[in-house]
């Protein structure tokens, strides 16, 4: 271990500590996740208080329609981030599978410009698709019950603003993602936090002012505009070190991106549908009260996973650059400490949830309950295993290959089949939804892909996990 003296800062130097925290991508990512959670908690009372019952019902209709937007991405966002990181690592070209070796001479700005134009064109098409689908189907669903709202014309205006905000939100997401691929994670997160703050402040102010259904979509619209303008300008400022090419082969680049994009999209869709299928089964068999306990437990563990996952999320673009240079030792040095920090953060927070979660719910008098402690502990174990297999799966994807697609889909289908079987043939109750995914994915996915991924960076799982690679310490 290397001990540096004098240390860069200590607790007696609050200015140095605050400056370090201000420049930490981890801190800013936690701020974003925490603010996103707090936004829902703070806005919900205002929504409940300021909207009539009919308007509240229509508000949830709006939410159910705009939930389509993330599905339209269909795996392109992580693929673009990965390809941009390859270009930053000096890759000469992109290819449908595998990684062309980087030159080691710094970023390939010609390829970055190609990806910039391709990404912008792609998200324009995505935004157009969302506009057409929601403009037709979404409007039809809204009109079915619009006469029940206090003012149908105001509801139509609110839906129109929601539609425009959703389309712009889809389009505006490309620039922050592109920045992350260029290893500008701190700037990207700061821009996203700023947009989130604007969304919250404007939505809350409009709700208090009596704008009703139009409040939240107007906040979303303004936040998306700010995010797009600032992030796009930042991308261009970084790229203008070299002039853009005269022509970008957009369609060829999209054809190269598509093979792995659809695989990631199908994988995400499978997970999304499995969760919703379990919810539907729980509701139909066990009822709303049981679903509330299951849903609350899943939600809290999801928050913990998201907070812990920040440690590795901010480094995948760096690992992509190292993959482009085929620098496996550097990948090991970058990933090892971040992976262990993610594991330890998850275990600490999950332990706190197991020990203090239910007492805190009782203390605040909410009357809500999580799963019984033994089932909650098993659910936390499954969530931890999902976390670790997600790390290794993302590492595999930096090879620009997705070999785990069909085993993962098979695991989801088996999990669903087990849930149905256990809920109808045993007295496990909610425990069926805990045991099913744990058993299904433990058969193969939870143990095989870590071994496979470690081999891909020229080491073994045991050697990597328990023997720290020689590294150059870097700031968090």
User: Is position 18 within any domain?
Assistant: yes
Number of domains in the chain: 2
Judged against a pLDDT cut of 60, whether residue 7 lies above it is answered with no
Share of residues in the chain with pLDDT > 90 (%): 36
Final residue of a structural domain among 192, 221, 248: 248
- The pLDDT assigned to 476 comes to 40
Question: What contacts 225, CB < 8 A, 6 or more positions away?
Answer: 168, 172
Taking phi over 0 as left and psi of -120 to 50 as alpha, with beta for the rest, 210 belongs to left
220 and 288, same domain (yes or no): no
Question: 264-313: per-residue pLDDT in tens?
Answer: 888 887 877 787 788 778 878 888 678 778 887 887 888 889 888 889 98
Question: Is the dihedral angle over the CA atoms 433, 436, 439, 441 positive or is it negative?
Answer: negative
296 and 213, same domain (yes or no): no
Average of per-residue pLDDT across 167-196 = 88
User: Is position 141 within any domain?
Assistant: yes
Judged against a pLDDT cut of 70, whether residue 11 lies above it is answered with no
120, 174 contact by CB (below 8 A): yes
132 and 174, same domain (yes or no): yes
Count CB neighbours of 52 within 10 A: 12
266 and 308, same domain (yes or no): yes
220 and 346, same domain (yes or no): no
Question: 344-390: per-residue pLDDT in tens?
Answer: 999 999 999 999 988 887 776 556 688 999 999 999 999 999 999 99
Pick 445 or 51 by higher pLDDT.
445
Judged against a pLDDT cut of 90, whether residue 23 lies above it is answered with no
Domain interval for residue 218: 13-248
Question: 209-224: per-residue pLDDT in tens?
Answer: 988 889 988 998 998 8
334 and 310, same domain (yes or no): yes
User: Is position 34 within any domain?
Assistant: yes
User: Is position 4 within any domain?
Assistant: no
Final residue of a structural domain among 248, 271, 291: 248
Pick 322 or 240 by higher pLDDT.
322
Judged against a pLDDT cut of 50, whether residue 439 lies above it is answered with yes
374 and 404, same domain (yes or no): yes
194 and 85, same domain (yes or no): yes
User: Is position 239 within any domain?
Assistant: yes
271 and 352, same domain (yes or no): yes
Judged against a pLDDT cut of 70, whether residue 4 lies above it is answered with no
What does the H/E/C string look like for the chain? CCCCCCCCCCCCCHHHHHHHHHCCHHHHHHHHHHHHHHHHHHHHHHHHHHCCHHHHHHHHHHHHHHCCHHHHHCCHHHHHHHHHHHHHCCECCCCCCCCCCECCCCCCHHHHHHHHHHHHHHHHHHHHHHHHHHHHHHHHHHHHHHHHCCCHHHHHHHHHHHHHHHHHHHHHCHHHHHHHHCCCHHHHHHHHHHHHHHHHHHHHHHHHHCCHHHHHHHHHHHHHHHHHHHHHHHHHHHHCCCCCCCCCCHHHHHHHHHHHHHHHHHHHHHHHHHHHHHHHHHHHHHCHHHHHHHHHHHHHHHHHHHHHHHHHHCCHHHHHHHHHCCCHHHHHHHHHHHHHHHHHHHHHHHHHHHHHHHHHHHHCCCCCCCCCHHHHHHHHHHHHHHHHHHHHHHHHHCCCCCCCHHHHHHHHHHHHHHHHHHHHHCCCCCHHHHHHHHHHHHCCHHHHHHHHHHHHCCCCHHHHHHCCCCCCCCCC
Pick 4 or 68 by higher pLDDT.
68
- The pLDDT assigned to 1 comes to 35
Average pLDDT, rounded, for the chain: 85
User: Is position 3 within any domain?
Assistant: no
Average of per-residue pLDDT across 144-170 = 90
178 and 273, same domain (yes or no): no
279 and 240, same domain (yes or no): no
User: Is position 462 within any domain?
Assistant: yes
- The pLDDT assigned to 240 comes to 82
- The pLDDT assigned to 45 comes to 72
> Which of 81-85, 91-95, 329-333 has the largest mean confidence?
329-333
Pick 470 or 36 by higher pLDDT.
470
- The pLDDT assigned to 72 comes to 79
- The pLDDT assigned to 432 comes to 93
262 and 244, same domain (yes or no): no
- The pLDDT assigned to 30 comes to 72
Beta bridge partners of 102: 91
Of the candidate ranges 29-43, 71-85, 225-239, the one whose mean pLDDT is the lowest: 29-43
User: Is position 371 within any domain?
Assistant: yes
Question: 36-62: per-residue pLDDT in tens?
Answer: 665 655 776 777 778 888 887 787 788
- The pLDDT assigned to 9 comes to 46
Final residue of a structural domain among 248, 273, 296: 248
Of the candidate ranges 37-41, 199-203, 205-209, the one whose mean pLDDT is the lowest: 37-41
């Amino acid at each position: 271990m290397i001990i540096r003296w004098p240390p860069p800062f200590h607790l007696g130097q609050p200015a140095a500590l605050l400056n370090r925290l201000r420049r930490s991508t981890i801190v800013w990512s936690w701020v974003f996740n925490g603010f996103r959670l707090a936004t829902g908690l703070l806005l919900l009372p205002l929504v409940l208080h300021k909207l009539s019952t009919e308007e509240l019902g229509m508000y949830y209709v709006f939410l159910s329609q705009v939930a389509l937007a993330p599905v339209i991405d269909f795996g392109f966002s992580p693929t673009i981030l990965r390809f941009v990181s390859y270009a930053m690592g000096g890759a000469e070209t992109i290819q449908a599978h595998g990684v062309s070796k980087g030159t080691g001479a710094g970023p390939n700005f010609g390829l970055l410009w190609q990806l910039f134009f391709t990404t912008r064109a792609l998200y324009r098409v995505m935004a157009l698709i969302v506009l057409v689908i929601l403009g037709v189907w979404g409007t039809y669903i809204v009109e079915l019950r619009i006469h029940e709202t206090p003012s149908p014309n105001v509801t139509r205006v609110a839906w129109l603003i929601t539609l425009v905000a959703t389309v712009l939100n889809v389009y505006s997401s490309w620039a922050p993602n592109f920045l992350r691929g260029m290893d500008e994670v701190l700037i990207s997160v700061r821009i996203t936090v700023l947009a989130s703050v604007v969304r919250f402040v404007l939505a809350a102010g409009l709700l208090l002012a009596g704008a009703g259904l139009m409040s939240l979509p107007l906040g979303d619209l303004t936040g998306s505009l700010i995010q797009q303008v600032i992030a796009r300008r930042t991308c261009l400022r970084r790229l203008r070190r070299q002039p853009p090419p005269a022509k970008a082969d957009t369609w060829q680049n999209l054809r190269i991106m598509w093979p792995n994009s659809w695989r990631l999209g199908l994988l995400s869709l499978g997970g999304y549908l499995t969760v919703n299928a379990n919810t539907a089964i729980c509701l139909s068999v066990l009822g709303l009260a049981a679903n509330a306990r299951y849903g609350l437990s899943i939600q809290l563990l999801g928050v913990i996973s998201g907070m812990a996952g920040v440690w590795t999320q901010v480094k995948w673009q760096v690992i992509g650059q190292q993959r482009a240079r085929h620098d496996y030792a550097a990948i090991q040095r970058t990933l090892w400490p971040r992976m262990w920090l993610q594991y330890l953060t998850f275990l600490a927070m999950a332990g706190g949830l197991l020990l203090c979660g239910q007492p805190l719910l009782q203390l605040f008098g909410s009357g809500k309950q999580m799963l019984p402690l033994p089932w909650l502990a098993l659910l936390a174990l499954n969530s931890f295993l999902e976390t670790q297999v997600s790390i290794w799966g993302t590492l595999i994807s930096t090879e620009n290959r997705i070999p785990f697609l069909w085993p993962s889909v098979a695991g989801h289908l088996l999990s669903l089949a087990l849930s149905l079987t256990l809920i109808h043939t045993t007295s496990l109750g909610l425990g069926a939804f805990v045991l099913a995914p744990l058993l299904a994915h433990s058969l193969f996915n939870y143990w095989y892909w870590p071994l496979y991924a470690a081999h891909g960076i020229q080491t073994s799982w045991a050697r990597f996990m328990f023997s720290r690679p020689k590294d150059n310490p870097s700031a968090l």
